[in-house]
Amino acid sequence: MGLPVLTRLRRPRPRIGVTTGRWKGRTMRLANSLGVWLSGGVPVRIGPGLRTSFDGLDGLIVGGGVDIESRLYGIDTSDEWPYDPDRDALEIAALDWAERHDRPVLGICRGAQLLNVHRGGTLIHDLARSHPDYRNPRSVFPCKTAHPCAGTRLAALLGERRVSINALHHQAVDRLGQGMAVAAVDDHGIVQAVERTGHRFWLGVQWHPELMLWSPRQLRLFRALVAAVAGPEPHRQVPAPASMSA
């Protein structure tokens, strides 16, 4: 009598959309794609002039790049900052899609800010102008410290001890959007991470973990995103004020 043949079914690798801009963000997109691969997922480029459909995606990374157009959060300016309105529109549509279909989302730098703007929140338009005494170093290497807030999803992923982070931004989350909570702040109280309460996985970090994949703690963010595709995790209800000005 022959031995039974055991067939092992492999689950397909989750397909994670990774957004990028028309003029800026290619290096960040490639690094985000590497983070997805190392975490067991398949990265899919999303951006103006590239793929603009979200069909067949299991999750989403909204990456870094140029500033979000300020009119989207109620500031009517004609300043020197470059914008990419096509990318803004595409990523907002992507977040609408992720919300409708309950897909997990990781926002990075600009992406974290857009998660907040998408929920009706606002941004500090320029930290140097609004906080002239605030030292905001800019480096791909760790140059400041983030403190995860107790009871948040971020703290569950990274632990509550401080995290060394890099910084390439000049803006930050100001008033929180509906359902958003502060997940980390720096030594000066400036928001460094946000997350959406009562949702499977919507997390945004102001720093660039994709440029620090040598750090196991930073890689956990990508692994958590890919793992969230498999099924819902317990919803965290994070106590947070209705709004916050950093």
Average pLDDT, the chain: 87
Tell me if residue 149 is catalytic. Answer: no
Closest CA to 146 of 179, 201, 184: 184
At residue 26, the 3 state secondary structure works out as: helix
Average pLDDT (208-227) is 97
Q: Is 208 a catalytic residue?
A: yes
Segment 59-66 mean pLDDT: 95
pLDDT tens, position by position, 147-178 = 999 999 999 999 999 999 999 988 999 999 99
The secondary element (H helix, E strand) that includes residue 113 is helix 110-118
Q: Among 118, 125, 199, 208, which one carries the catalytic annotation?
A: 208
Residue 155 φ then ψ, to 5°:
-65, -35
Beta strands in 93-190, from DSSP E residues, in sequence order: 105-108, 123-124, 139-148, 163-167, 172-173, 180-186
61 and 111 Cβ atoms separated by less than 8 Å: yes
- C-alpha gyration radius of the chain: 18
Average pLDDT, integer, range 191-214: 95
Question: Would you state the structure tokens that stand for residue 241, as one six-digit string?
Answer: 């004020």
> What are phi and psi for residue 108, nearest 5 degrees?
-125, 120
Closest C-alpha among 90, 97, 201, 190 to residue 146: 190
Amino acid sitting at position 17: G
| pTM listed for this prediction | 0.88
Q: Which of 69, 91, 109, 125 is catalytic?
A: 109
Identify the band that residue 26 occupies on the pLDDT scale cut at 50, 70 and 90: confident
Q: Which two tokens stand for residue 185?
A: 């702040």
The answer to whether the CB of 207 falls within 8 A of the CB of 190 is no
Is 210 marked active-site? yes
**Domains defined for the chain, CATH in brackets:** 15-229 (3.40.50.880)
